[in-house]
Amino acid sequence: MKAAWYERQGPASEVIRYGEQPSQPLGEQDVRLRLAFSGLNPSDLKRRMGFNGQPHAFPLIIPNSDGSGTVLEVGAKVKDFRLGDRVWVFNAQWKRPFGTNAEEIVLPSHLVRHLPENVSLAYGACVGIPALTAHRALFADGSIEGKVILVHGGAGSVGNCAIQLARWAGATVVSTVSSDEKAEAASKAGADQVINYKREDVSEKILSSTDGQGVDRIVEVAFGENLPITLKVLKPHGVISCYASDRQPTPALPFYPFMMKNLTLRWVFMYELLPLDLRAALSDINLWLSGKSPDTATPPPMTKPAIVYEHIDRIFSLTQTGEAHQYLGSGIATGNVLIDVQ
């Protein structure tokens, strides 16, 4: 099979190679997929660069954990999939050497999910890490129906999924962005209010639009940088769910302001969700993708197809894997970055 891989950590232009790799054997609980698209996430770049001391865990790594495709072969004990099924996958390269950046992949069947017919294979490769992270950030502390949610970075892959899932679950969504183009993406995802943090005072705009009440929960991509905003706009007993703090990885925590408002600080690392939480997230995500209600799982009328904003910025070829890594790492992407591995 054709694939792109690396055998040591370092810059994409120096370490990523393209060529032929052998197909992997199929176990009795496994599914073999013909991949269509590989979804690229910041965590894939960080693993390649050894961010925060991550080791080069295997002699050869085919990167990327998200992807989509069709079933080619199933193991003897797999009952939920048939040949030709359209699927999306998650955590493909978590603690494994071989991810989705190849024509084929063999995965344990529990890492494979059916892709609803109304969702493209391209967007199916965008779902895994972003949607699972967003779901945990939103729902770990109970229902969000009727609540006001602040989603920082609404044009990012996680932020955009968080906006869509929050609206799906009946919340009002405020989102921050850094440009007009990104504002459009957040609005298309369903944000009720979009604030350009480079031109506007985020705290002032939120408090003004909520009659001084603030927000119930925050989905946070820049924990350290945004702490001043958090303390101004998060309601007493509110929750801040953090999945990144790259620019300030060791922020000073203002203990007493957090304590006096009885705030909950939740860390979100979707790779290590408890089985019960993972099952709930996977169920909800496929209901959302299918356009079904979060309460009754009832399909919408046929005249109203599922509303899923397919937030894709750019698609690279398999031979352009290094360029795709560089593009995502540049910070200029507005939407998901994919690799076409067909």
All structural domains of the chain with their residue ranges: 2-126+310-340, 131-271
51-55, 138-142, 207-211: which has the minimum mean pLDDT? Answer: 51-55
- Which tens digits make up the pLDDT trace of 263-285? 999 999 999 999 999 999 999 99
Q: What is the model's pLDDT at position 248?
A: 94
Confidence at residue 295, expressed as pLDDT on a 0 to 100 scale: 61
Which has the closest alpha carbon to 89: 120, 119, 117, 127? 127
Closest listed residue to residue 203, CA positions, set 150, 160, 256: 150
Q: What is residue 294's predicted lDDT score, i.e. its pLDDT?
A: 80
Tell whether the model's pLDDT for residue 258 goes beyond 50.
Answer: yes
Residue-level pLDDT at 302: 34
**pLDDT at 4 > cutoff 50:** yes
Rounded average pLDDT over 250-255: 94
pLDDT of residue 305 exceeding 60: no
The residue type found at 326 is Q
What is the pLDDT at residue 298? Answer: 47
CA count, 13 A, side-chain hemisphere, 322:
13
**Residue 192 burial by CB count (10 A; 0-12/13-18/19+): exposed, middle or buried?**
middle
The reply to whether 131-271 shares the fold of 2-126+310-340 is yes
How is residue 107 written in tokens?
Answer: 């995965």
Q: What are the pLDDT digits (tens) for 28-81? A: 999 999 999 999 999 999 999 999 899 999 999 999 999 999 999 999 999 999
Predicted confidence at residue 293, as pLDDT, reads: 80
Average confidence (pLDDT) over 176-193: 96
Local structure of residue 56 (DSSP, 8 states): -
User: Tell me, what's the pLDDT at 307?
Assistant: 65
Across the chain, mean pLDDT equals: 94
Q: What is the pLDDT of residue 297?
A: 46
Give me the CATH code for the 131-271 domain, please.
Answer: 3.90.180.10
pLDDT tens by residue, 18-28:
999 999 999 99
For the record, the structure tokens of 62 come out as 């085919």
* pLDDT class of 331 with cuts at 50, 70, 90: confident
For 333, residues 6+ apart whose C-beta sits below 8 A from its C-beta are: 313, 314, 327
230 phi-psi bin (left φ>0, alpha ψ -120 to 50, beta other): alpha
Give the sign of the dihedral formed by CA 167, CA 170, CA 174, CA 176. Answer: negative
Best CA proximity match to 237, nearest among 221, 255, 215:
215
Residues 11-18, mean pLDDT to the nearest whole number: 97
Question: For residue 299, what pLDDT is reported?
Answer: 46
CB atoms within 10 A of CB 264: 15
User: What integer pLDDT is reported at residue 187 of this predicted model?
Assistant: 96
Average of per-residue pLDDT across 109-123: 96
CATH architecture of 2-126+310-340: Alpha-Beta Complex (3.90)
Tokens 């890594």 found at: 325
Eight-state DSSP code of residue 245: B
The predicted model gives 85-109 an average pLDDT of 97
